[in-house]
Structures are given as C-alpha cells and as structure tokens.
C-alpha cells in the first residue's frame, strides 16, 4: 500500500512540499488541504499589483489547482479547513467551507504548512469597511475591489515594515495621499541613523507622510472608516492598511501537542521533523536554525518557506535531506531606493551577547567615471573579539539588492570580516568600481 501524505496548507511551503514529495515518490497518495480558493501564488507580489507594475492578482497565481492535479497527480481540497487532528490514529477532520460537509482523511505522514496570520492591534474599529490586513490572496482581492469601487483619496498605513512601505509606494503611485504610522523610531525593524534618514527623505520627497513614535488608538467611522485617532491627534482617511507583522498559525499544532519553540512557532529539526516522527512542518509556521546565532529563530520569508517545503516533502516520503538554516536576507524597494539587510543588526548583535562593532562606507555602484554611477551606503557588523562577520545593511539606487547576497554567502560560510577582503568579486565599469562597495567597506576596518 502506498504511503499516504497529508499536507495542510497549499501555498509556498505546502505546495513545494507536495511537488517534491511527488518527485521523490511516484506512488505516494498526496493530499493538500487549503483554506482559500487559490494555491501556489506569490504573496510577495501583491503590493506591485496595487501599484500597477503587475497587471492583476491573477498574474501572481503560478498554477491553477487542476494543473497541479494533472501535472503531479495530487488531490487538492481547496476551500477546505482541517478542523482537528488525531495523531495517534492518524486522521484529520476536514470541513468543506463551500458545502459545510465534513470528511475524514487518514494519513501515514503529515506536513504542517499552515503559514502565518496578520497581526491585528487591540483597538476599536478593525471591522469597519475600508480596514484591511494584507497577508493572503482573499485579503488582496478585497483590497483590490475596494480600490476599484470606492476610489479612496487618503490612506493610513499602520507599520513601516516591508509590507507597509511597499504599500505606501503602491497607493501613492495611484494618486492616494498616504500617511504611514510607526510606533517605533526605526524603519523596516532595524534601520536608524544615516540609513534611516535617507529612507525618510525618499518617502518625504515622494509625498508620503511618515509619523514615527506614535501609537494608533482607534479607527473611527459609522460604517466605513472616516478617521483614525493617534497619540497626537486625528488623521482623516478613507482606507486603513494594518501592516504590523505576522504570527505563526499554530492552532492545530498546539491542540495536537506538537512542540512549539521559544518563538511560538513550531520547533523542527534540520529534517523539518517535529517531535512526532511522522509529522513535519515547513514555512511561516515553523522555526529555522539561524546560522549566525546557531539556534532556532523565527523569520518568515518566502524563500525559507520554499526551501523548507522542499526538504519536508522529500523526507516525508522516505528521502534524506537537511536544511542548514537561514541568515535572514531581505531586500525591499521603496520608490527609487533599494534597501537590503542580512544577518544581525548592531542592536540585535549586542542583545545576543556579541561584542558588536560597525564599519561603514559610502561608495558607488559603478566606476565613478562611468555614466549612471549611484551612491551606495554599506554597513557591516562584526564581532570585535573574533572578527566574525555578523550582518550587513546596504542602501542605494542601484546594485544593492543582489550585492547583499555576497554578505549572506559570507555569513553562511561563517567568514571573518577580514576574509571578505580576499573575495574575487567582479569588476567592469558598467557594473562595479575596482573596489566593490563591500570590499571598500572592509578596507575601513581598524
């Protein structure tokens, strides 16, 4: 009898697991349960639909369910929800959200790829028309419909993280007056000082109002949002986007005594196995080993979800694969700025017990004499005692988003900062100066 594999969650982690499980085992019976109508789509592309760079939300859907069924011989139950798990008897109770009918699915192996949910502040007015979070495709479709039917003139975005700033650009591009409210004094969770000032200047020049160090107290309106109240006053608005981060969706895991890590996400081994031998977890619901810290960490990213999904899918049907971990590499475009970070920030490194030291430089993206050369600011963080590289941040108008990958690779290799000076990085006037910005920065280490 072939192995029966049940996967809960049909996006990045879950569908990647399903397709790699099929590659590993041609005979396994693979069932994927997904709450929404869509599977295998890019959440990261949603802001660019609202900004007009991508034609429609449908462009983000890589496969329709029927295509995956035919190509990989999967059973896909979309618009369905797993209501409970019985791990000892190895079955799940599944409810169809369209018909309300309940069925029981037996399994030999289980992969939890339940993802994450958008955080929602404890304030009044969250249920008013015109108030949204942006996490999954159903939410994106609601925002898209609202923008098309109401033509809002003003928007408030709560949170200056990656999604918040991407949505600020998208809405401003549509001619909407945008105010971003951020409770902390940092942008994107880690940028302060000179790099933060450049981001603030870019937003200001693009007519986005940025309010730092303020708390949103409430959202007010009769049926539709009319204004928000903050710690310093009232801001009138027709649209509110809540973008204050996400949390792992672990309700099924918690109810089934699947062990959670210190972060609150599902604890996994490098095989993506949980504390149950036949249960795996992948994607935004699971922890990952942080290579710099050498301990479990929660940083939900699409890249990690795909990689973990591959490992979980292979191993669940008898393969042998391992996931080394993450260093937390991220990049974002804020209007004409490219902003990227990897590893630990200076504050994080100090908090984690390193003797953190910073070295920074200002260089250019191409040879200075070549037309179009743009300024790049680079910051590297390292341990003063051992010299080990701990992280890096870069900001500029070109050449940033992929250069950060050099620093990420060095972190993966546990290199010392002085080792970077020996890297044989490419040089040609249209692409880089003879001393690449990363090498130029390392030269400043004393």
Active site residues: 44
- By the 8 A CB rule, do 92 and 252 touch? no
- How many Å from the N-terminal Cα to the C-terminal Cα in the chain? 65
Cβ partners under 8 Å of residue 261, min gap 6: 267, 287, 296, 298
Closest by CA to 437, choosing from 368, 350, 378, 397, is 378
- By the 8 A CB rule, do 281 and 111 touch? yes
Phi-psi region of 191 (alpha: psi -120 to 50; beta: other; left: phi over 0): beta
- By the 8 A CB rule, do 229 and 361 touch? no
SS3 389: strand
Q: CA dist 382 to 50, 288, 361, 377, 406, Å?
A: 39, 22, 15, 17, 15
Task: Kindly write down the DSSP assignment for every residue of 264-285, as one continuous string.
Answer: SSBP--TT-B-SSTTEEE-STT
Contacts 24+ apart (CB under 8 A), 57-63: 57/137, 57/140, 57/141, 57/144, 60/137, 61/137, 63/15, 63/39
62 beta partners:
none
Tokens, residue 444: 């400043």
SS3 253: helix
Neighbours of 86 (CB within 10 A): 12
Angstrom distance (rounded) from CA 47 to CA 55: 11
192 beta partners:
none
Full strand arrangement of the beta sheet holding 279-281: 75-78, 29-34, 4-8, 109-112, 279-281
Give CA angle at 300 (344, 58), nearest 5°.
Answer: 135
Angstrom distance (rounded) from CA 246 to CA 173: 25
Counting runs of H as helices and runs of E as strands, what totals does the chain give?
Answer: 11, 25
């Amino acid at each position: 009898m072939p192995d029966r594999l049940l996967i809960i969650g049909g996006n990045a982690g879950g569908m990647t697991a399903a397709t790699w499980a099929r590659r590993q085992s041609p005979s396994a019976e693979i069932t994927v349960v997904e709450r929404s109508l869509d599977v295998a789509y890019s959440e990261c592309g949603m802001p660019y639909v609202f900004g007009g760079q991508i034609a429609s939300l449908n462009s983000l859907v890589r496969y329709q369910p029927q295509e995956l069924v035919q190509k990989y011989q999967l059973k896909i139950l979309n618009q369905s929800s797993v209501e409970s798990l019985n791990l000892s008897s190895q079955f799940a109770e599944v409810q169809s959200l369209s018909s309300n009918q309940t069925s029981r699915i037996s399994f030999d192996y289980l992969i939890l790829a339940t993802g994450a949910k958008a955080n929602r502040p404890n304030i009044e007015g969250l249920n008013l028309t015109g108030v949204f979070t942006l996490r999954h495709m159903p939410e994106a479709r609601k925002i898209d419909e609202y923008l098309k039917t109401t033509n809002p003139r003003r928007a408030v975005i709560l949170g200056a993280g990656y999604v918040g700033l991407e949505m600020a650009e998208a809405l401003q591009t549509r001619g909407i007056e945008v105010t971003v409210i951020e409770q902390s004094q940092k942008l994107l969770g880690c940028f302060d000082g000179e790099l933060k000032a450049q981001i603030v200047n870019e937003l200001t020049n693009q007519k986005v109002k940025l309010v730092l160090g303020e708390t949103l107290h409430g959202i007010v309106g009769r049926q539709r949002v009319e204004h928000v109240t903050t710690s310093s006053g009232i801001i009138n608005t027709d649209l509110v986007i809540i973008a204050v981060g996400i949390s792992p969706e672990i309700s099924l895991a918690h109810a089934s005594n699947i062990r959670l890590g210190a972060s609150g996400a599902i604890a996994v081994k490098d095989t993506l196995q949980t504390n149950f031998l036949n249960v795996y977890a992948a994607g935004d619901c699971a922890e990952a080993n942080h290579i710099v810290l050498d301990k479990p960490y929660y940083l939900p990213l699409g890249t990690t979800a795909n990689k973990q999904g591959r490992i979980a899918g292979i191993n669940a049907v008898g393969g042998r694969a391992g996931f080394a971990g993450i260093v937390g590499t991220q990049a974002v475009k804020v209007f004409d700025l490219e902003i990227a970070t990897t590893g630990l920030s200076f504050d994080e490194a100090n908090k984690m017990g390193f003797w953190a030291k910073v070295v920074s430089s200002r260089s250019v993206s191409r040879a200075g004499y070549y037309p179009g050369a743009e300024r790049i600011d680079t910051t590297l963080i390292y341990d003063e005692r051992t010299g080990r590289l701990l992280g890096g941040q870069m900001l500029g108008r070109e050449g940033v988003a992929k250069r950060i990958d050099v620093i990420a690779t060095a972190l993966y290799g546990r290199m010392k900062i002085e080792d970077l000076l020996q890297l044989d990085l490419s040089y040609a006037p249209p692409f880089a100066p003879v001393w690449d910005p990363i090498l130029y920065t390392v030269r400043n280490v004393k």
